[in-house]
Structures are given as C-alpha cells and as structure tokens.
A and B are shown apart, each in its own frame.
Chain A
C-alpha cells in the first residue's frame, strides 16, 4: 500500500537553530514528491516539487532534497515566521487521475 510518513510529528526550534524534517514513502515508481506549508486555519500552500533522486530545490531558508525512499526539508537559521505545519505528498504511478497521497505533517514552532 502506498504510504507517506512524516517525522517528527512536532518540532520546536529556537530562532537560528537549523534542522530537518523527514518524509519517507513506500510508493514505487514515484511520479513526484511535493512539499506544502500550512498555516493554522488556512489551506496548504505549495512550496516545492521534486521528481528524481538527487534533485534539490531551494526557497529562502528552505531546501528540499529527494532520495529513492525519502525527502528532507532542511530549514536553515529559521525565523518565527517559519512556524507552520509542513506537509509532504507523493504522486504514485497507480490511478488514472492526479492523486496525491499526503502525510500527516510536521508541526514546526520557531521561538525567538
């Protein structure tokens, strides 16, 4: 069964303390892996798409990387405004539609 697992469930950082969030998946023949940011009471906001192992994408303090079994979202010198839930999703090869399988997310809190 296609599955996406994110860890940790919650992460508390001090401002400036770099760390990484993990997204592991069991999908074979991945068509794409996606990172979203979700603020409380709002819908997910698209961040990155990764298609192949070794690929990296960056946006401000965020950098996403992909291996054959997992993806990491690295946060460098985070600020309080980076506090949010970060969602990972994969697009499996099965299914005839644009199906995304989402993980449960990592809640990130960055304190000044």
Chain B
C-alpha cells in the first residue's frame, strides 16, 4: 500500500516548455487534489476532482490543466511553463469530497528557468 505517489520528484523546464505531473493513489479514494507550495505561503489548491469524471478549479488554476484518468490517477499539465510556476507541487486524495482528511504525496519540485 503505497498511498499517494507522484512522478517525477524533480523537474527543470525552460520557459514555454510543457510537461505533465503524474499522481496515483491506491487507497480507493474518490477525491483527488493538486496543490502548490511556495516559500512563506500556505498550500494553495490548483484543481480538484470530487470523483472520477469530474474536475473543478481551485484557488490558482491559471496556466494549468488536469485530467482525472480513472479513479486512481489524476494528472496536472503545464502547457507553457512560466517562471512563476516554479514551486513544489503536491497531489492529495481523500475518501470523498466531504472527508476533510487529505493524504498527500511526496511532491514534485519544479523549476522553470
């Protein structure tokens, strides 16, 4: 039981490049989330998926897209990376959208130059 896994752990992109961050959970959770964490700021919600087949914007969705591939997997795509997207990205899951305990993955540290 690995919990929430994320790939890659580290990534360096040049401005304008695209990439997809992968997230998978094996806890049979319905809801999944993408956050970014910047120094001196709290975690901020980018997108979430309440259940398979649905996605919605969070607090800071601009510049990102998501795909809920199936119940286990939720990916985050940067179509044209910008230096402002340099951050640590965390995926999380919870049993349902009304379950307040969220379980986090280990994070992806992304640098955009």
Contact = CB atoms under 8 A, between A and B. Distances in A.
Interface of A: 4, 31-32, 34, 36, 41-46, 49, 87, 89, 91, 97-105
User: For chain B, what secondary structure do more than half of its interface residues adopt (helix, strand, loop), or is it mixed?
Assistant: loop
B107 A41 contact: yes
Contacts of B103: 46
Interface in B40-73: 40-45, 48, 50, 56, 58-59
Interface residues on chain B, size class: 20 to 34
Given A43-B4, A44-B90, A104-B42, A99 B58 contact: yes
B42 A46 contact: no
B75 interface: no
Contacts, number: 61
Contact of A87 (B33, B43, B97, B99): B43
Given A42-B107, A98-B98, A100-B45, 7 more contacts: A31-B100, A43-B107, A46-B103, A87-B43, A98-B97, A98-B99, A104-B41
A43 B104 contact: yes
